[in-house]
Structure 1
Amino acid sequence: MAQMLASVSALLISVAFLVLGHGLQSTLLPLVAEQANFSNLAIGAISSAYYIGMVLGCLGSPHVIMRAGHIRAFAALVSLMSAAAILHPIMTDPISWFVIRAISGFCLAGFYMIVESWLNESATNETRGAVMSIYVVVLFAFLMVGQVSISAMDINSFIPFAVASVTVSLAVIPVALTTANQPAPITLVRFRPIKLYQNSPAALVGALLIGVANGALWSLTPLYGSAIGLSTNESAFYAAAVIAGGVLSQWPVGRLSDRIDRRLVMMMLASSTAVVSLVIAILAPQDFGPAVAFALLVGICSQPGYAIAVSHAFDYADPEDFVETSSGLLLAFGIGSVVGPFIASVLMGPAGPSGLYYLVTVVNVLLVAFLVTRVFARAAISQEDKMDFEYAATAQVGTVISPEPLDVDAPNVIPPEEFPAYEDEIYNPEVAVVTEEVVQSDGSGSEAAEEQPAAPDGKSGD
C-alpha cells in the first residue's frame, strides 16, 4: 500500500492544492458578494452557476481529454480555473461572477474526472477501495482547510483572491513533473433518467432532492452565518462545520445501510435533517458555539444521503451499468444543486436568513413522503444481493468513481486508440504498453516501421 500511495502522491498533492483554493473561494465569494451589495437573488444565481458548470463539465470534459490527452487537459483546466479565480476582484458584478463561477465548475469537474480515472487505473483490485477512500478524505479535509483559511485574511483586500488563484495554480506542478503513467480509459457520461428511475426510483428522486437541499447548504451557509450576525471568521467555521459533519457520519451511516433497507436509512437521514433544519430556522441561534453545533448536526444528518442513494442504486444495477448509474445519479444531484441555491436565495428575501433552512426542511419532508411510497411499492432487496457500502464510489465529488475497474470494451468507456490526442499510438491492454509506429527511410525509397515505447506521459494501462 505504501508503494501504491507513493505512485499516486503527485495526484493527491495536486488535489490538496486545488481544493484548498476551491474551498477558500466557496466561502469567500458569498461574503464578498454580500459586502458588494449583491442581492440575495444574485448570490443564489451565482451559486447555481457553479453547479451549472459542474453539470456541463461532466458532459464535456471527456471530449477535452480525448482531444488533448490527460496531462495537457489537466494543465489547461487548472490554469483556466486559476485565471477565473483572480478575475473576481477585477470584474465585480453579478453577471461576470455568474460566468466565472460556471467556468470554475466546468474546470473542477474535468479535474476530478482526470484525477479519479488516474487513481482508478493506478490501483489494483485489492487496493482500489483504500486508495480512492484516501483520495476522498484528502479532498474533503483540504476543502475544509480552505474554507476556514479565510479567517486569516481580510476579505476586503485582494489577498484572498490571490491566494486562491496561487493555490489552484500550484496544483499543476506535481502532475506536470510526475513520471507516472497517465491513464487510458475514460467514461462518456450518459444520462438516461427513465432507465435510472426504472432501476431505482428512490435513488434517482433521492439524488435529485438531496442535490436541491445540499447544494443550497454548501453554497449559502457562509451567507447565512453572516446574516445572523456571525463574523467573517465565524461564518467560515460555520460553513466548514456542515462539511465536517458529513465526513464524520458518512462511513458509519453507510455501514448501517449494509444491514437494513437503505431506503429506511435515507428516510431516517431525511427526517432528522428536516427536524434539525426546522429547529435552526425557528431558533436562528446567533451565538457562535450553538450555531456551529447545529451546523455540525445538520451536516451529520444531511450529507450522507447521496451516498446511500447511490449505494441503493448499485444494489439493483448490473455491474456493467455501474458507471452509467453513478454518472446519472451525479448529474441528477447536479441538476438539483443548480435549483437549490436559487430557490433558497428567493426564500431568504421574505423569510430572512431562515429561508435557507425552511427550504431544506420542505425538501426533506418531500423526500420522506416519496420514500414511504416506495417502501410499500417494492420489497427490500435480500441481504445477500446487496453490495457492501463503498465510501469512495458513493462520495458526492465532482464526477464518477466506479466501484469496479473500467471495462475498456464497455460502450461508454473510451480506450485511448479512439483519442485524437493518441491517434498515432497503439493501445495493448494485455501488456499495458503503448507503442508508436515510427516510419523511417532506408535511403532507397523503401520504408521500415519499428515499434518504440511511448514517452512516460503517453504510456497507458488497462
Structure 2
Amino acid sequence: MARTIRTLAALLIAAFFLIVGNGLQGTLLSVRGNMEGFPLVLVGLLMSAYFVGFMAGCQFAPAMVKRVGHIRAFTALASIASAAALAYALAVEPVFWLALRVITGFALAGLYMIIESWINEAVDNEQRGRTLAVYRLVDLSAATIGQAMIALAAPTAFTLFAIVSILISLALVPVAMTTSAQPRPISSAKLELGKLFRISSLAAVGCLAVGAANGAFWAVGAVYVQELGYPVTTVAIFMTTVVIAGALVQMPLGLISDRLDRRIVVVATAGLCSAAGAFLALVGGASSEMLLYGGFAFGFTAMPIFGLCVAHANDRAEPHEYVTLAAGLLWLYGAGAVAGPVIAPMVMNAFGPKALFIHTSVIYGALVVFGLFRILVRDAAPQKNREAYVSVPRTSPTVFEIDPRGEHDEESDEDGVSENASTV
C-alpha cells in the first residue's frame, strides 16, 4: 500500500491544493459579496452558478481529455481556474462574478475528473478501499484548512483571492512533473435518472434534499454568521467546525448503518439534522458557544447523509450498476445545489438570517416524512445484498470508479462502456 501511495503522491498533492483553494474561494465569495452589499439572493446564485458549471464540466470535460490528453487538459483547466480566482478581484460586479463561477465550476469538475480517473487506473481491486480512504482523508483535511484560511486576511483585500489562485496554480506542479503513465481517456455513459428512482427513490430524493439543504449552507452559511453580528474569525471557526464534525461521524455512522436497516439510519440522521437546524435558527445568535455547538451538531448530521443514500442505493443495485448509479446520485445532489442556494436567500430576506436553518430544517424534516413512508411501503434490502458503507467525496462522478463496491474488471457492460471507465 505504501508503494501505491508513493505512486499516487503527485495526484493526491494536486487534489489537496485544489480542494483547499476551492474551499477558501466559496466562503470568501460569500463573505465578500455580503460586505459589498450584494443582495442575499445574488450571493446564493454564486453557489448555484458554480454547480451549473460543475454539471456542465462533468458532461463535457471528458471530450477535452480525449482530444489533448490528461496532462494538457489539466494544465488548461487549472490555468483557467487560477485566472478566474484572480479575476474576481478585478471587478466586483454581479454578472461578472456569476460568469466566473460557472467557469470555475466547469474547470474544477474537469480537474477532479482527471485526478480521479488517474487514481482509478493506478490502483488494483485489492487496494481500492484503502486508496479511497486516503483520498477521503486528503479531501476532508483540505476542506478544513480551506475554510479556516478565510481568517488569514481581510476579505475586502486582494490577498485571499491571490492565495486561491496560488493554490490552484500549485496543483499544476505535481501533475506536470509526474512520471506516472497517463490513464486511458475518460468515457461517459448515459445517465438514467428514471432507473435510479426505480432502484431507490429514497436515495434519489435524499441526495436531492442534501444538495438543496447543504448547498444552501455552503452558499450563505458564512453570511448567516456575519448577519448575526459575529466577526470573520468566528465565520472561519464555525465553517471549520461543521467540516470537522462531518469528518468525525463518517465511519462510526457508516458502521452502524451496515448493521441496521439503512433507511432507518437515513431517517434518524435527517431527523437529528432537522433538529440541529432548528437549534441554530433559535439560539445561534445567543452566543458564539451556542453557534459552535449548533454548527457541530449540523455538520455531524448533515454531512454523512449523502454517503448513506449512496450506500442504500447500492444495497438495491447490481455491482455493475454502482458507478452509473452513484454518478446519477451526484447529479441529483448538483441539481439540488443549484436550487437550494436560490431559495434559502429568499427565505432569509423575508425572515432574517435564522431562516437559513429553517430552510435546512424543513428540507430534512420532509426527507424524514418521505423516508418513513418508504419504510412502510417497501421491505428492507436483504442482508445478503448489503454493501459496506464507503465514505466518498462529492468531487466528480469519476470518484465512484475508485469505490471498491463495484466490479472493476476489463469487460464491457451492456452499454459498451468499460467498467473501468469514468461515468457521468
TM-score, structure 2 length as denominator?
0.94
1:190-229 superposed matches below 5 A:
190-229=190-229
User: Partners in 1 of 2:187 and 2:317 — Cα distance?
Assistant: 17
2:407 counterpart of 1:409: no
1:273-328 residue CA offsets vs partner (Å, 9 max, x unmatched): 11110121122334223212210110001110000100111111111111110110
User: SS where residue 350 of structure 2 aligns?
Assistant: coil
Shift of 1:245: 1.4
Q: Which residue of structure 2 lines up, in the alignment, with residue 343 of structure 1?
A: 343
User: Partners in 2 of 1:225 and 1:407 — Cα distance?
Assistant: 50
Return closer, same or farther for 1:283/1:412 CA change in 2, 3 Å cut-off.
farther
Say whether the 8 Å CA contact 2:320–2:419 is kept in structure 1. no
User: Partners in 2 of 1:335 and 1:295 — Cα distance?
Assistant: 24
Return closer, same or farther for 1:37/1:202 CA change in 2, 3 Å cut-off.
same
Q: Which residue of structure 2 lines up, in the alignment, with residue 251 of structure 1?
A: 251
User: Partners in 2 of 1:145 and 1:274 — Cα distance?
Assistant: 27
Return closer, same or farther for 1:323/1:88 CA change in 2, 3 Å cut-off.
same
Say whether the 8 Å CA contact 2:277–2:357 is kept in structure 1. yes
Residue identity in the other structure for 1:397: T
User: SS where residue 105 of structure 1 aligns?
Assistant: helix
Tell me the number of residue pairs that the alignment of Structure 1 and Structure 2 aligns: 415
Residue identity in the other structure for 2:417: V
Task: Report the more deviating stretch, 329-338 or 114-123.
Answer: 114-123
User: Partners in 1 of 2:254 and 2:309 — Cα distance?
Assistant: 10
Shift of 1:187: 3.8
Residue identity in the other structure for 1:43: V
User: Partners in 2 of 1:206 and 1:235 — Cα distance?
Assistant: 28
Residue identity in the other structure for 1:75: T
1:202-234 residue CA offsets vs partner (Å, 9 max, x unmatched): 111111111111111122111111111111111
Shift of 1:406: 6.0
User: Partners in 2 of 1:116 and 1:406 — Cα distance?
Assistant: 17
Return closer, same or farther for 1:412/1:306 CA change in 2, 3 Å cut-off.
farther
1:19-418 superposed matches below 5 A:
19-184=19-184, 186-392=186-392, 395-400=393-398, 401-402=400-401, 403=403, 404=406, 405=408, 407=410, 409-410=412-413, 411=415, 413=417
1:382-409 residue CA offsets vs partner (Å, 9 max, x unmatched): 21210111223xx323333132326462
User: Partners in 1 of 2:411 and 2:176 — Cα distance?
Assistant: 26
User: Partners in 1 of 2:359 and 2:410 — Cα distance?
Assistant: 41
1:48-89 residue CA offsets vs partner (Å, 9 max, x unmatched): 111111111111122221122111111111111101100101
User: Partners in 1 of 2:41 and 2:58 — Cα distance?
Assistant: 26
Shift of 1:123: 1.1
1:341-397 residue CA offsets vs partner (Å, 9 max, x unmatched): 1100111101111111011011111111111111111100121210111223xx323
Shift of 1:114: 1.0
Return closer, same or farther for 1:68/1:136 CA change in 2, 3 Å cut-off.
same
Unaligned stretches of 5+ residues in structure 1:
418-462
User: Partners in 1 of 2:257 and 2:175 — Cα distance?
Assistant: 37
User: SS where residue 186 of structure 1 aligns?
Assistant: coil
User: Partners in 2 of 1:409 and 1:383 — Cα distance?
Assistant: 28
Residue identity in the other structure for 2:263: R
Say whether the 8 Å CA contact 2:65–2:185 is kept in structure 1. no
Shift of 1:412: 6.2
Return closer, same or farther for 1:174/1:286 CA change in 2, 3 Å cut-off.
farther
Return closer, same or farther for 1:189/1:154 CA change in 2, 3 Å cut-off.
farther
User: Partners in 2 of 1:279 and 1:48 — Cα distance?
Assistant: 26
Say whether the 8 Å CA contact 2:224–2:353 is kept in structure 1. yes
Task: Report the more deviating stretch, 147-156 or 251-260.
Answer: 147-156
Say whether the 8 Å CA contact 2:410–2:420 is kept in structure 1. no
Return closer, same or farther for 1:412/1:359 CA change in 2, 3 Å cut-off.
farther
User: Partners in 2 of 1:9 and 1:213 — Cα distance?
Assistant: 34
Say whether the 8 Å CA contact 1:140–1:247 is kept in structure 2. yes
Say whether the 8 Å CA contact 1:185–1:413 is kept in structure 2. no
User: SS where residue 389 of structure 1 aligns?
Assistant: coil
User: Partners in 1 of 2:286 and 2:190 — Cα distance?
Assistant: 45
Say whether the 8 Å CA contact 1:187–1:412 is kept in structure 2. no
User: SS where residue 75 of structure 1 aligns?
Assistant: helix
Task: Report the more deviating stretch, 138-147 or 7-16.
Answer: 138-147
Say whether the 8 Å CA contact 2:47–2:101 is kept in structure 1. yes
- Percentage of identical aligned residues: 34
Say whether the 8 Å CA contact 1:120–1:132 is kept in structure 2. no
TM-score, structure 1 length as denominator?
0.87
Residue identity in the other structure for 2:264: L
User: SS where residue 91 of structure 2 aligns?
Assistant: coil
Return closer, same or farther for 1:185/1:113 CA change in 2, 3 Å cut-off.
same
User: SS where residue 184 of structure 1 aligns?
Assistant: coil
Say whether the 8 Å CA contact 2:210–2:306 is kept in structure 1. yes
What RMSD in Å do the two structures reach over aligned CA positions? Answer: 1.7
Task: Report the more deviating stretch, 397-406 or 361-370.
Answer: 397-406
- Higher gyration radius (CA): 1
Residue identity in the other structure for 1:58: C
